[in-house]
Structure 1
Amino acid sequence: MSDISAPDRAKRQGLREGLFWLLTITVATMVSFGYWAMHRQPASAQSSEQKEASEKEFKAWYAVKYCREQTENLPVGSREAQIAQGACQLLQNEYEQIRR
């Protein structure tokens, strides 16, 4: 027979089982973390919907700004200035709707 006593064999068996489960949990954790790290979005990335909404809001803001600049070049009180001011107000309303 072997020169290892029964209590020592039991300790070794318990140690092997403990190490097995520790190794199994470690590998499962590493695999899960690796999968998560590969499939997550970077913090700086925006979804395409967010990008589109941001671009749409910027374009609406720029349209209002451009309209107001062009209206300033028209003669005060003229029919063209009144029409341009109305158009600018419509653009402003649309911009406010987009921002919500």
Structure 2
Amino acid sequence: MANEKQNPGPATSDDLTPREKDLLAIIEDMGKQLEAKKMDGLTSAQTPTVTHKGATYEVTAQKFNFEGTDYTIEDLKDAKLVAKLIDKKVGFLVKREA
């Protein structure tokens, strides 16, 4: 069994090249930034949804303009607005299949 390679074990930061260390630092920083945004409520692990007449719709836009007015996802708490958007078949409300 002289041809089998020995498992060197987990790599340490000493085993990395300077470029690999820089890339690892960037990845770690991006992970921290993403986690901070999640904590601020700016992102969600799940796609936001609204319901209308028993159906659930995924909301694929954070901001939109409808009939000349700018809205944000927070405005979708208004059931009348949601009904109008669904009636107009806007593309950013995607009906979930059961």
Give the TM-score normalised by the residue count of structure 1: 0.31
Greater strand share, structure number: 2
Give the TM-score normalised by the residue count of structure 2: 0.31
Q: Which has the higher contact order (CA 8 A, sep 6+)?
A: 1
| Structure ID, larger Rg | 1
Greater helix share, structure number: 1
